[in-house]
Amino acid sequence: MPATLRLPVSGGKLLDYTTANTPIAPPRRAAGEPAFNRVAYAAAHVVVDPLADNDPWIDRNIDWERTIAFREYLWDLGLGVAEAMDTAQRGMGLDWTGAKELIANVQSAARKRPGALIAYGAGTDHLAPGPDVTIDDVIRAYEEQVAYVEGQGGRVILMASRALAAVAKSPDDYARVYARILRQVREPVMIHWLGDMFDPALAGYWGSSDDLRAMETAIAIINDNAARVDGVKISLLSAEKEIIMRRRLDPAVKMYTGDDFNYAELIAGDEQGHSHALLGIFDAIAPAASAALQKLAMDDIKGFHDILAPTVPLSRHIFKTPTRFYKTGVVFLAYLNGFQNHFQMLGGQQSARSVVHLAELFRLADEARVLRDPDMAANRMKTILATAGI
């Protein structure tokens, strides 16, 4: 039965809204059905324990049971898990010590699932940028984290480094660091180019504030080491730039879209190629992503877009400026959908978006058909509204 509630909108007004859309049913993957024809990872969030007696802005308080259960849910839908990434608040509430614990716990769960697709972020976030940091320090920091992931039996996603962005004097410094690390990896890695809209500390990555000039450096590094690179995840929120880079990569290197604004068209592709996916929004819209990818694998392009296109306005809202606060929307939707019984986050990040933003998220999630139980979601939305005096 539709649920009606009063939602705040810009200007301090309240408007009635009634849920009107049937949730997308999680697809059943029967034996013999074609596998996805795109590699698809969801960058997964962590669930905190709201009853932990600690200082939530400072301390880690992860609910491991719920965190692992959410990964199991993603695997059940046929999606891979990109672990310990920025969606998990890596470097924004989750430090390297906590990330190691997360990696170890999730890898333990993955071992029990033959064929589980998973990869782990390795970066330099335990190395604080500073005037005394050197390029060699950055290399050693990368080596430590890569060794830990590989020691757990995991595949590496080589994350962008705040320390490298701070210390590098030229594109040659990036080439030196990445070539050194790539020579040592056990199996091909994914390289993550995270734009400064996601993390302002990464401005000027690859040695230039001009994305197209920076791309020249990145492409040269990747193509020179193509045998050691599975793919590159680009998160610049520009379909045009992603397509330019995609067409210039070595044919053996995949492009993984990280564009939470334009993912549908980039995954569908064109006559010259397509992108695979490594997306934070797939955490929030997992059933829709799985169902759409199933349609794409059956060459049903219209069915693919019919399912995925309505999720794009929701994603653009969640990832709106300041983009780095998108994690608040991802976790809020997990709360609305019953994957956790609270709306709390590491570092108190649940406060990073306004109640007006959250109300619009609720409406767009209904329109995208990703509220898996609209009545429950409406009741939980009312609880959040009550804390704002509504």
Q: CATH number for the domain including 259?
A: 3.20.20.70
Q: How many CA atoms lie within 13 Å of 292's alpha carbon, on the beta-carbon side? A: 27
- Distance, in Å, from the CA atom of 191 to the CA atom of 160, rounded to the nearest integer, reads 8
pLDDT at residue 32 in the model: 47
* Confidence bin at 59 (pLDDT 50/70/90): confident
- DSSP-derived secondary structure for 182-216: HTT-SS-EEEEEE-TTT-GGGTTGGG-SSHHHHHH
Q: Is the pLDDT of residue 64 over 70?
A: yes
| Residue 125 domain-assigned (yes or no) | yes
- Is 204 within 8 Å of 218 (Cβ atoms)? no
| Residue 382 domain-assigned (yes or no) | no
- Distance, in Å, from the CA atom of 305 to the CA atom of 34, rounded to the nearest integer, reads 18
| Residue 207 domain-assigned (yes or no) | yes
pLDDT at residue 97 in the model: 96
- Is 191 within 8 Å of 174 (Cβ atoms)? no
Q: What is the mean pLDDT of residues 265-272?
A: 97
| Residue 100 domain-assigned (yes or no) | yes
Q: For residue range 297-335, what is the model confidence (pLDDT) as tens digits? A: 999 999 999 999 999 999 999 999 999 999 999 999 999
| Residue 23 domain-assigned (yes or no) | no
* Confidence bin at 34 (pLDDT 50/70/90): low
pLDDT at residue 53 in the model: 83
Closest CA to 225 of 252, 202, 198, 264: 252
- Distance, in Å, from the CA atom of 176 to the CA atom of 168, rounded to the nearest integer, reads 10
Q: For residue range 217-266, what is the model confidence (pLDDT) as tens digits? A: 999 999 999 999 999 999 999 999 999 999 999 999 999 999 999 999 99
CB neighbours of residue 109 within 10 Å? 18
pLDDT at residue 21 in the model: 86
pLDDT at residue 2 in the model: 85
What does DSSP say about strands 4-9 and 13-18: parallel, antiparallel, or unpaired? antiparallel
* Confidence bin at 27 (pLDDT 50/70/90): confident
- Distance, in Å, from the CA atom of 42 to the CA atom of 292, rounded to the nearest integer, reads 14
The total number of structural domains in the chain stands at 1
| Residue 141 domain-assigned (yes or no) | yes
| pLDDT averaged over every residue in the chain | 95
Q: Is the pLDDT of residue 166 over 60?
A: yes
- DSSP-derived secondary structure for 318-346: HTPSSGGGHHHHHHHHHHHTTSSSS---G
Q: Is the pLDDT of residue 201 over 80?
A: yes
SS3 at position 76 = helix
| Residue 299 domain-assigned (yes or no) | yes
- Distance, in Å, from the CA atom of 117 to the CA atom of 78, rounded to the nearest integer, reads 9
Residue 155 structural domain: 37-309
Q: What is the mean pLDDT of residues 28-57?
A: 84
pLDDT above 70 coverage of the chain, percent: 98
* Confidence bin at 35 (pLDDT 50/70/90): confident
* Confidence bin at 29 (pLDDT 50/70/90): low
| Residue 228 domain-assigned (yes or no) | yes
Q: What is the mean pLDDT of residues 337-347?
A: 96
